[in-house]
Chain A
Amino acid sequence: MASNRPVALVTGASSGLGKATAHALVEAGFDVVGTSRKTSGSTSSGGVTFLALDVTSDDSVSSVVQQVIERFGRIDVLVNNAGLGIDGAAEEISVAQAQRVFDVNVFGLMRMTKAVLPHMRGRGRGRIINISSLGGFVGNPFMSVYIATKHAVEGYTESLDHEIREHGVRVLRVQPGPFNTPFDANSVQADTPVPVYARQRAIYDEVTQEQLRGGDDPAVIAKVVVAAATDRKPKLSYPAGSLAPRLKVLRRILPARTFDKSVRKFNRMTA
């Protein structure tokens, strides 16, 4: 089983960006293990070996990492892709629901990271690529909880990257904008709707649908993930797609008030 090809582990690889990333990594010469909640047992498709993994379970995480190391002898790249979306006003999302989203998007990512680090540190090499978001550095109405998770990922990534660089391991973040996947279908609905937000939310939904339809092809983002996995001199941040790199520049050069106005205008909010 063990070969000399580098080994990548991609979480949430059954659909969307994770699937595209897994296939792009196979094409780039990696042995790829993809995980998802829904896989039963271990199956293989398109060069990707699938394992069942629930990132909210400590046991599941450590057992999957152990299995991959036993079968392939190493993990060169971990792509923390598994994540949930959640739309809704902050008031409409209960704390319990927010905690569940954090448990996947943030603590799941931390569990995976902590499970592979002893191995990567031991080898003195390795790369962890965290799928962040445009929402990792820009705020947007009706996405407060999702964006909070991605801001957490941003800070965790940047801090950890400093800690373990001297051990030969890099932690990077890929920041895609809206792209065309069933991610929206996987989104969690706010559990406590508040009528006063209904009108503005309907507008937000419309704007988002437009955005997703005109969004990037996941294969474009996957290419950026592969670049992060293979660049000889990796960068901490990889904004990906058509929107995120531009917004990153705008955020940096526009005055705060102008940027704020443009976000409101974009979401068709008054004043």
Chain B
Amino acid sequence: MSTFHPDLARGRFIPNVSVGRLSSRIVRSRKIRPTDPGTGVTVQELVVPGPKDAPSVSLRVFQPTGLKAAAPALLWIHGGGTIMGAPELDDRTNIAFARELGITVAAVRYRLAPDHPAPAAVEDAYAALRGLAERAGDLHIDIDRIAIGGASAGGGIAAALALLAHDRAEIRPVFQLLLYPMLDDRTTTRTDLDTLKVRLWTPKSNRYAWSSYLGDAVAGPEVSPYAAAARREDLTGLPPAWIGVGTLDLFHDEDVEYARRLSDSGVPCDLDVVPGAFHAFDLVFPKAEVSREFWRRQARALEGALWADRK
């Protein structure tokens, strides 16, 4: 594997610890401080009906202040291996999307594994998507221009949500923005990986997360594509995608492979491989130039998909 990106050289000193039952529980119990969006963007916590026989779903909604006309929206799904995390994790980038692109960003607070294994997370995300469409009127959302996106496990859930939305054919998201998505549970059984320089998400964490989400089915023959999107054979008809991943990411191979399969199935897909970048590098070093550029590329991809008429 390659060496660390020069902007991320400090990442060398991040200890390669893994998460397990206890540590993920501790992380879960910590509340992440919300970021004040300042002026220009307003935030509110909306509650929408949940999936069938499940509790309602909460959305953290950022909107440009004084939004009056229908504008596009992004449904955002946070990361954390399906076992940790909260929408507040990505406040900074979500606020920036809302401010710079003039769109509504709704980050879903989905149920976490192992207390709520698959398909709880993706069903919650679907309920969130439907909730946004139902409240499109008072939120000023153009339902024909809703993108979905997420990072890490959230990227995986977003990819699965794209499949679910395609199959149910009720609401059609127009774009999927996938940041180093967690797509394939079969990566847990790979033994050929050189993971010395992998940071933040180790094979051990990956095994614990996938088995929390899928239970005993992990890496077996019976895994639903709505839980691990890479399991899907037929990728035709999906919305265009942007996939970004670093070369030092455990998910590098599965993400590159998914991008290739999307392209082969006729789905327009931009693949952005960042040399020497590890998992979630943009969260750990948000001020590094490579992280800023990573965000700008996402913003450009979203702008192209959602504001095609502006160009």
User: In the complex where A2-B65, A70-B65 touch, is A122 in contact with B39 (Cβ < 8 A)?
Assistant: no
Whether B31 is near chain A, meaning CB under 8 Å from some CB there, is yes
B36's contact among A69, A123, A166, by CB below 8 Å, is which? A123
B60's contact among A4, A73, A74, A122, by CB below 8 Å, is which? A122
Whether A121 is near chain B, meaning CB under 8 Å from some CB there, is yes
Note all chain B residues with C-beta closer than 8 A to A69.
42, 44, 65
CA distance A259 to B43 in the complex (A): 49
Note all chain B residues with C-beta closer than 8 A to A3.
39
**Interface 1/0s, chain A 71-102, versus B by CB < 8 A?**
10110000000000000000000000000000
CA distance A2 to B66 in the complex (A): 10
Note all chain B residues with C-beta closer than 8 A to A4.
38-39
A74's contact among B33, B34, B42, by CB below 8 Å, is which? B42
Whether B262 is near chain A, meaning CB under 8 Å from some CB there, is no
B residues 147-200 with Cβ under 8 Å of A? none
**Interface 1/0s, chain B 21-53, versus A by CB < 8 A?**
000000000010110111111111111000000
Note all chain B residues with C-beta closer than 8 A to A234.
none
Contact between B40 and A119, CB atoms less than 8 A apart = no
CA distance A36 to B8 in the complex (A): 56
A4 to chain B, nearest CB (A): 7
Whether A118 is near chain B, meaning CB under 8 Å from some CB there, is yes
Contact between A71 and B66, CB atoms less than 8 A apart = yes
Whether B61 is near chain A, meaning CB under 8 Å from some CB there, is yes
CA distance A142 to B31 in the complex (A): 49
Whether A124 is near chain B, meaning CB under 8 Å from some CB there, is yes
**Interface 1/0s, chain A 122-141, versus B by CB < 8 A?**
11110000000000000000
A73's contact among B33, B42, B47, B61, by CB below 8 Å, is which? B42
Note all chain A residues with C-beta closer than 8 A to B65.
2, 69-70, 73
Note all chain B residues with C-beta closer than 8 A to A119.
42-45
In the complex, how many residues of chain B place their beta carbon closer than 8 angstroms to a beta carbon of chain A? 21
Contact between A166 and B42, CB atoms less than 8 A apart = no
CA distance A69 to B60 in the complex (A): 16
Note all chain A residues with C-beta closer than 8 A to B47.
118
CA distance A73 to B60 in the complex (A): 16
User: In the complex where A2-B39, A4-B39 touch, is A122 in contact with B31 (Cβ < 8 A)?
Assistant: no
A70 to chain B, nearest CB (A): 4
Contact between B46 and A70, CB atoms less than 8 A apart = no
A77 to chain B, nearest CB (A): 15
Note all chain B residues with C-beta closer than 8 A to A73.
38-42, 65
B44's contact among A122, A166, A168, by CB below 8 Å, is which? A122
**Interface 1/0s, chain A 31-70, versus B by CB < 8 A?**
0000000000000000000000000000000000000011
B136 to chain A, nearest CB (A): 16
Most buried by B among A2, A3, A73, A125: A73
A65 to chain B, nearest CB (A): 10
User: In the complex where A69-B65, A70-B65, A166-B31 touch, is A121 in contact with B40 (Cβ < 8 A)?
Assistant: no
A residues 1-38 with Cβ under 8 Å of B? 2-4
CA distance A124 to B34 in the complex (A): 6
A42 to chain B, nearest CB (A): 15
CA distance A198 to B66 in the complex (A): 55
CA distance A122 to B34 in the complex (A): 8
Note all chain B residues with C-beta closer than 8 A to A2.
39-40, 65
Note all chain A residues with C-beta closer than 8 A to B46.
118
Cβ-closest chain A residue relative to B34: A124
A151 to chain B, nearest CB (A): 29
B residues 50-81 with Cβ under 8 Å of A? 60-61, 65-67
26 examples of A-B residue contacts, CB within 8 angstroms = A2-B39, A2-B40, A3-B39, A4-B38, A69-B42, A69-B44, A70-B66, A70-B67, A71-B66, A73-B41, A73-B42, A73-B65, A118-B44, A119-B42, A119-B44, A119-B45, A122-B60, A122-B61, A123-B36, A123-B37, A123-B43, A124-B33, A124-B88, A125-B36, A166-B31, A168-B34
Q: What are the nearest 4 A-B pairs in CB distance?
A: A124-B34, A2-B39, A122-B43, A118-B44
Interface residues of A (CB under 8 A from B): 2-4, 69-71, 73-74, 118-119, 121-125, 166, 168
Given A118-B46, A122-B61, A123-B37, 5 more A-B residue pairs with CB atoms under 8 Å apart are A71-B66, A73-B39, A119-B45, A122-B45, A124-B88
